[in-house]
Amino acid sequence: MNRDLPQRPEPLPAPTTDAHTHLLSTQEFSGLPVAELIERAAEVGVHRLVEVGCDLPSSRGAIEIAQNHPAVVACVAIHPNDAARAGDRLPAELDALEALVADEHVRGIGETGLDYYRTRDDEGKRLQKHSFAAHLAWAREHDLAVVVHDRDAHADILDVLDAEGVPDRFMMHCFSGDADFARQCLDRGAWLSFPGTVTFKPNHALREAFDLTPDDRLLVETDAPYLTPVPLRGRPNASYLMPWTVRFLAERRGADLAGFCRLLDDNATALFGGWGDDG
């Protein structure tokens, strides 16, 4: 059943990329087929999407979507909370995930990282760090981008990155830190990806982090079906709603909207490589 997704916004004046979305979850929530969700995004100028896995089924699903839709590339991972819940099963799950990494449609490893909001026990944190390190190793071996999930774990994220070796290309998905943490990530070469939460009125610190992010390290994402931007906050999200966030940020930066769209598109290419429909 369609759960009343919002109407389409005004199309963007130039094509751009949703740097992090979950089409499978959006499909499950909305009842709309993946193909229609991709088409809706393209109709408003979001012509490319990064479909991100969080466990074995969704990682396999991300690859299948990318195989069938050239506008999509895949990322594969075991989400940190899933790593913590796996317990003794984690080594086997990591082995199974590693078998997916070499697929040609996989352009990133993630979302991986640390989440101390839902996982607070020491053993769960240990498993998350072990999983994060394994994902970082695969990214180095296969020259892939890393999509980092960080929730309430800023210091430990940096500690693991420094200990394991900072990846050549990595993005801080759904960036949630302040300006000081943004500088620490940028100093390590990160791309910072901003979701709809940057439009929420109380999030002044997040907007300050955006303000200091260089143009060539900036991405925008939906994390759909979550984190719907103002003025649709509280309703289900989808990639075709990303123009609300893009317009908000372009206006804040005083940037030409078409040029800002192309900038985000170029940055996604720099991080993930080309898409099947490029050119």
- The annotated binding site for a divalent metal cation is made up of 20, 22, 111, 149, 173, 223
Q: Is the peptide bond before 111 cis (omega within 30 degrees of 0)?
A: yes
Q: List all residues 6 or more positions away from 61 whose beta carbon is below 8 Å from its beta carbon.
A: 24, 51, 53
Cα distances (angstroms) measured from residue 37 to each of 5, 26, 75, 106, 109: 11, 8, 18, 20, 23
Token pair listed for 271: 């991080």
Q: List all residues 6 or more positions away from 15 whose beta carbon is below 8 Å from its beta carbon.
A: 45, 46, 47, 48, 261, 262, 265
Report the distance separating Cα 128 and Cα 83, nearest Å: 6
Q: Which residue from 273, 269, 232, 207 is spatially nearest to 16, judged by alpha carbons?
A: 269
Binding site per annotation, positions: 20, 22, 111, 149, 173, 223
Count CB atoms within 10 A of the CB of residue 235. 14
Burial of residue 233 (number of CB atoms within 10 Å: 0-12, 13-18, 19+): middle
Q: Which residue from 170, 78, 179, 87 is spatially nearest to 124, judged by alpha carbons?
A: 87
DSSP label of 89: G
Q: Is there a contact between 193 and 174 (Cβ–Cβ < 8 Å)?
A: yes
